[in-house]
Structure 1
Amino acid sequence: MRTIGQALAQNLVDRGVEVVFGIPGVHTIELYRGIEGSEIRHITPRHEQGAGFMADGYARVSGKPGVVFVITGPGLINTLTPMAQARADSIPMLVVTGVNRRDSLSKGLGLLHELPDQLGLSQTVSKHAEQVASAEALEGALHRAFAAMEGRPAPVHLEVPTDVMPLPGPSAVTSLPSSDPILPDLSLVAARLAEAKRVVILAGGGCRTENFALTQLAEKLDAPVVQTVNARGLMHGHALTVAASPSLASVRALIEDADCVLALGTELGPTDYDMYATNTYPQMENMIRIDICADQLARHEAVLTAVGDLKHCLPMLAEMVARKAPNDGAERAAQARAAAMEEVTALGLGYDAFISQIEDLRAALPHAVMVGDSTQAVYAANLVYDHDRPGGWFNGATGFGALGYAIPAAIGAALADPAAPVIALMGDGGAQFTLPELGVASDENLPILFVVWNNNAFLEIANSMEAAGIKATGCHPGAPDFSAIAAAYRLGFKRTTPEALSQVLAEVLPLSGPMILEVDMSA
């Protein structure tokens, strides 16, 4: 007899799931009966928040949904933060949990891990949440969950009551449903672009898999391409690339000088377009938007919109658009890049030095996946930095903005693409949110370079408090001895200064396993 837990695992295998991130507990034991002997690789994080962030990093690099198995109650609650980060950044994630037996739900009986309404709680951050209450309901629930991750991707949640998991499951998996891609009519978009003389393209995370088509379109239009954080790595080193934040005055000037703005796969969110919280946006004349989500398109005024997946729409549009005679696109892009770097340097926060260090890391490990936390080096590079791998620059400093993202998300990224160099970027404060997940890197012997800028502070917050005339309170938690942490988790370790970073990188690379590289900021 095949149980529901076993049927669920087989259904996941049939849908291409290869890795599950989970921490087993008494309320999920029957789910693990399905994993035993299956083709699924199970990764055991040290905390459910780590499981969720690992699934996030895995999904971004693999292009497949990240799958999480966690227990009822606290397991789900600990996963809500990663789910919210994934929701903000349009990342597909399937969270499977237990829930107490059906006859106890919502009765307040005081059962272990009981919540008043677990499903209702998850619905605050998930795109779809459903309870699997019987064997007959399993496949339909999985169909709906995976369908919900199509369109604009997001986390989804399925809960299985403990008294349902061991029941006899469906005898066979039915054929999986398929859906045709959304293919809008882009003729009006192409016509508008043909009329424009000074186009600027805004490339968002929806473009991150379409480097060739974006390059082709930009060259045909002679259009500078401004990249949001989740689009960095596209068109690396290209004369039309503006890998700088549209929150900067210099980049806003480029956008406002355009007679047509083509916004592709970007929600135009303030963490990209108004990170200084001025409640102002660049003025965008004749904005055209293409996005997979109709709701997003309705949130900002545009002269023309089209609903569609950029995986299909970008190549279509690049083929449709006629090549314009080269004008001054490359010159406008170069001026914006130079002005953006001057603007960041003038902030006086040392961001130019951080950007230089990130570039040293890129030079030492070309085409690496760089996964960042909320830390000054990442804030700096989010303002101005041109990465060299499409889809290879992402971090928790935008969108939901969760600390503790870098370590587990980098582990997920390394598991998704074992051939890719992976670098995790963090400060000493953020590292301590998910420090135990280093044990997973050790267990799996993943050659990840964990770079920790150690200033013994939440320095960005301390600076912000002092700038507001408030004494920096609660901003100086003591940092651990990172060399001892590395030894405890069987990781390599090296300490350096910002000035010696490039030299030290040459000494420690290539990696044979995970390593902590501490950048001492005390001098």
Structure 2
Amino acid sequence: MTSVGEVLVAQLEQRGITCVFGIPGVHTIELYRGLAASTIRHVTPRHEQGAGFMADGYARVSGKPGVAFVITGPGLTNTLTAMGQARADSVPMLVVSGVNALPDLGKGLGHLHELPDQQGLARAAALVSERVELPEGLSHALDKAFAAFQSGRPGPAHIEIPLDVAGQETTHTTPAPVHRSPPDIDLDQIAQAAELLASAHAPVILAGGGARVAAPALQDLAERLDAPVVQTVNARGVMYAHPLGIPASPSLGAVRALINAADVVLAIGTELGPTDYDMYASGTMPVLNNLIRIDLCPDQLPRHPARVPILGDALDALTALNTNLKGHNADRNGAARSDQARHAAFDEIGPDMRALNAVLNTIRDTIPGAIIVGDSAQPIYAGNLYYDHDRPGGWFNAATGFGALGYGIPAAIGAAVADPTAPVICLTGDGGAQFSLPELMCAVDENLPITFVIWNNHGYQEIATSMQDAGVSVVGCDPTPPDFEHIARSCGMPFWRCTPDDVSSTLRAARDERGPTLIEIQAPNQARFPKPSETLHD
């Protein structure tokens, strides 16, 4: 006989989990009982929100669910922000929390960390939330959580284990393997889509985050159709340096003009949400003529009705389309249309954003193949508007979707744990960095080779300019940043301070060091988010 906590660890291990992010507490001690004897690595963040963001970054890079262990009450509420970001970006995350003893739940007796309805809070962000009320119910709860990761659109799941259950003895059983395949592709719909695409004169492809695992198939299809490929933030890298690639926001007027002129639009793995498609909050969207939509989520497809809705995995659907269109190589002026849209979009973002784009290009070219993890900072805003990354899934940040500040530093830690062979660069502003600076010590403890880059413009400059544009007196946008050199030295990290002109040489110096390093870029303060162009409303 073993305890519920020991069985939890063993079953996570058998389900392929190799790392857990968590902060032990009196309400999770029993969950840790079997951890030291297992093969699972434990990483200790400095805040439960950091645990969630680390699990997020880990999942995006590894392709496996990120797991966080948190205490009941404040442990879970601190993690809810990270769960919200994971839900918005379809990231598989398992949060295992404690909860007070079963007889005391919902009675308001004043127990430590008590909430009126902890599971109700978790359900607001999680795809599923399960409570283990009997020892033999653990396997069922884990089955439901892992099934949510493997069927439909992934996201966060939650399991809570009451104090009076976690230490009980139970019989360890090997979990039944969960192999849920994506839904079978409807070949009739594939045939309809292929016929529509084959007859198109000016097709355009919209690639979302769901397409990043299918980059070769996407490129193949784009070349068969001679179709430009517009990439949302989470799809950057799928068409790197390709003549048909448009690594620019579909919120830009120039990109919208391209989409509006298309007679057939193929949208792959994108929710068509406003943080990508209406970044300027104009209340308008690009015109999607003869929309063909591929999505893994049955709830998502009806939200933007399509002429041909295809339920299924992006790779399966693209493979089927390529098979159906075999031998079809039309000349639709795709490269010229793409080139025109790229140049017009780059002009549209304005000189400040173009200067920031140059910094991003320098980072990419100095450290090829890096995973760049971002927060809501000016260079990230610029990159989300226009930036071409050199690896699929290697550019992600929290400036779209849920938009949580403080994401960059812990998510970069999760990314580095997931792939210790890849260079990881965290790009955050001085404001966002102050949400999660203590997590730097987690990177030191784990000796992770992360280059933390802080774009220091001394405050929330983007918000300040937005307030000015709205005619509102600027208040609260100038929090004084700490001395980042002293922060780095207190963490035992090498430190450099540079200007945007010196980024390349500074990055090379940092990469020669072992373990985490910190670079502060002294930012010019005139940069601002561009106003929408007149063509935005065309």
With structure 1 as the length reference, what TM-score do the two structures score? 0.98
User: What residue ranges of structure 2 are gaps of 5+ in the alignment?
Assistant: 526-538
Question: CA 1:7/1:341 → structure 2, altered by over 3 Å: closer, same or farther?
Answer: same
> Which residue in the other structure is 2:166 paired with?
165
Question: Which one of the candidate residues 341, 344, 362 is aligned to 1:339?
Answer: 344
Counterpart contact for 2:11–2:175, Cα < 8 Å: no
Q: Which runs of structure 2 are paired with 1:49-198 in the superposition (5 Å)?
A: 49-150=49-150, 151-185=152-186, 186-198=190-202
When the two structures are aligned, how many residues end up with a matched partner? 520
Give unpaired runs (5+ residues) of structure 1: none
Contact persistence 1:3–1:166 (CA under 8 A) = yes
* Paired AA for residue 333 in structure 2: D
CA distance in 2, matches of 1:101, 1:507: 53
The answer as to 2:240 corresponding to 1:236 is: yes
**Aligned-residue offset at 1:469:** 1.0
| Superposed displacement of residue 512, structure 1 | 1.6
Aligned to 2:297: 293
Contact between 1:361 and 1:502, CA under 8 Å: does it hold in 2? yes
Deviation at 1:378, TM superposition (A): 0.3
Post-superposition offset of 1:522: 5.4
Partner of 1:283: 287
Distance in 2 between residues matched to 1:170 and 1:79, nearest whole Å? 31
Match of 1:96, SS state, is strand
Deviation at 1:171, TM superposition (A): 2.9
- Give the structure 1 partner of residue 411 of structure 2: 409
One-letter identity of the residue aligned with 2:163: T
Name the structure 2 match of 1:8.
8
Residues 237 and 393, structure 2, Cα contact 8 Å, conserved in 1: yes
Contact 1:6/1:169 (CA < 8 Å) preserved in 2? no
Identity of aligned residues (%): 57
Aligned-pair CA distance for 1:170: 2.5
The answer to whether the Cα contact below 8 Å between 2:225 and 2:332 also exists between their aligned partners in 1 is no
Superposed CA offset, 1:54-78 (max 9, x none): 0000000000000000000000000
Q: Which amino acid aligns with 1:275?
A: M
2:225 alignment counterpart: 221
Aligned counterparts of 2:307 and 2:23: Cα–Cα separation in 1: 49
Alignment check: 8 A CA contact 1:218 1:225 kept: yes
Whole-angstrom CA distance in 2 between matches of 1:338 and 1:254: 12
AA of the residue aligned to 1:434:
S
Say whether residues 1:48 and 2:48 are aligned partners.
yes
Shift of 1:178: 2.1
**1:210 paired to 2:214:** yes
Q: Secondary structure at the match of 2:304?
A: coil
Where 1:163 maps in the other structure, the secondary structure is helix
2:333 aligned with 1:328, yes or no? yes
Aligned-partner residue type, residue 50 of structure 2: G
Would you say the 8 A contact 2:265–2:290 is kept in 1?
A: yes
Whole-angstrom distance in 2 between the partners of 1:238 and 1:35: 46
Report the Cα distance in structure 2 between the residues aligned to 1:420 and 1:49, rounded to whole angstroms. Answer: 24
The answer as to whether partners of 2:451 and 2:511 remain within 8 angstroms in 1 is no
Give the secondary-structure state (helix, strand or coil) at the position aligned to 2:267: strand
- The residue identity in structure 2 corresponding to 1:173 is T
Q: Distance in 1 between matches of 2:11 and 2:109?
A: 33
In the TM superposition, residue 135 of structure 1 has moved relative to its aligned partner by: 1.4
Pairs within 5 Å for 1:237-386: 237-322=241-326, 323-345=328-350, 350-386=352-388
Pairwise mapping of residues 339-488 of structure 1 onto structure 2 (< 5 A)?
A: 339-345=344-350, 350-488=352-490
Give the letter aligned to residue 315 of structure 1.
T
Q: Distance in 2 between matches of 1:368 and 1:170?
A: 45
Look up the SS of the partner of 1:115 in the other structure: coil
Once the two structures are TM-superposed, the CA of residue 294 in structure 1 deviates from its matched residue by 1.3
**SS of alignment partner, residue 450 of structure 1:** strand
- Distance apart, 1:503 and its partner CA: 2.9
Residue pair 1:214, 1:318 contacting (<8 A) in 2 also: no
Counterpart of 1:27 in structure 2 is 27
C-alpha separation in 1, matches of 2:67 and 2:315: 23
2:528 match: none
Contact 2:70-2:76 within 8 A present in 1 as well: yes
Secondary structure of the structure 2 residue equivalent to 1:400? coil
Which residue identity lines up with residue 42 of structure 2 in the other structure? H
Shift of 1:498: 1.1
Given residue 155 of structure 1, which amino acid in structure 2 is its aligned partner? Answer: P
TM superposition shift of 1:511: 3.6
Given residue 13 of structure 2, which amino acid in structure 1 is its aligned partner?
V
TM-score with structure 2 length normalisation? 0.95
One-letter identity of the residue aligned with 2:467: M
Supply the distance in 1 between the matched residues of 2:427 and 2:167 (Cα, whole angstroms). Answer: 43
Aligned to 2:520: 518
Instruction: Evaluate the alpha carbon distance shift between residue 319 and residue 162 of structure 1 in structure 2; reply closer, same or farther with a 3 A threshold.
Output: same
**Residue aligned with 1:210, SS:** helix
SS for the counterpart of 2:359 is helix
Looking at structure 2, the residues matched to 69 and 249 of structure 1 have their Cα atoms a distance apart, in angstroms, of 44
SS of the residue corresponding to residue 98 of structure 2 reads strand
Paired letter, 1:417: D
Q: 1:24 Cα shift?
A: 0.4
In 2, the alpha carbon distance for the partners of 1:167 and 1:287 equals: 55
User: Are the counterparts in 2 of residues 196 and 259 from structure 1 also a CA contact under 8 Å?
Assistant: yes
- Contact residue 183 and residue 313 of structure 1 kept, 8 A: no
Aligned-pair Cα RMSD in Å? 1.1
CA offsets per residue over residues 13-53 of structure 1, 9 Å max, x none?
01000000000000000000021200110000000000000
The Cα shift of 1:134 comes to 0.8
Write out the 4+ residue segments of structure 1 that deviate beyond 6 Å after TM superposition: none
Q: What is the distance in 2 between the residues matched to 1:201 and 1:522?
A: 36
Quote how far apart the aligned CAs of 1:235 are. Answer: 1.4
- Partner SS state of residue 520, structure 2: strand
Q: Distance in 2 between matches of 1:472 and 1:175?
A: 58
**What displacement does 1:508 show?**
3.1
SS at match of 2:412: helix
Distance in 1 between residues matched to 2:305 and 2:253, nearest whole Å: 21
1: CA distance, partners of 2:321 / 2:92: 26
**1:495 shift after superposition:** 0.2
